[in-house]
Amino acid sequence: MDKLSSFWNFLGKHKYLITILIFAVIIGFVDENSIIYRMELSKEESAIRSEIEKYREEYRESTRKLNELNADSNSIERIAREKYFMKKPNEDIFVFAEDQE
């Protein structure tokens, strides 16, 4: 019985501290908006932002190539020859294995 009364005395003296600790544990780890969940969301947001930047750079490069094609008619022929192995009627094309992607 002595242990039980000392336990209740301890709880009575430190009830605010215990309440704050329980609240911190619930908010920090158990709640749906916990610190752990927020860190996971932050990591996911960072990955998505880097992916967005990658697509923006890809868009810029594609726009640059499109502008080049619109400005220069020889570039269409160059791309057709390099990428699609097209040729003029009296030409021969030699393709080396290490040049193919």
| pLDDT of the residue at 81 | 76
H-assigned helices in the chain: 2-13, 15-25, 35-71, 73-84
- Among residues of the chain, what percentage have pLDDT more than 70? 97
The model's pTM: 0.53
In a domain, 36, yes or no: no
Residue with tokens 């160059």: 78
In a domain, 50, yes or no: yes
Output the six-digit token pair for 83.
Answer: 């990428």
85 Rama sector, left if φ>0, alpha if ψ -120 to 50, beta otherwise: left
Same domain, 26 and 49: no
| pLDDT of the residue at 73 | 74
Q: State which residues form the domain around 8.
A: 1-31
Task: Average pLDDT across each block of 10 residues of the chain; the chain has 101 residues. List them in order.
Answer: 85 90 86 86 97 97 88 79 77 70 55
Contacts of 95 (CB under 8 A, 6+ apart): 85
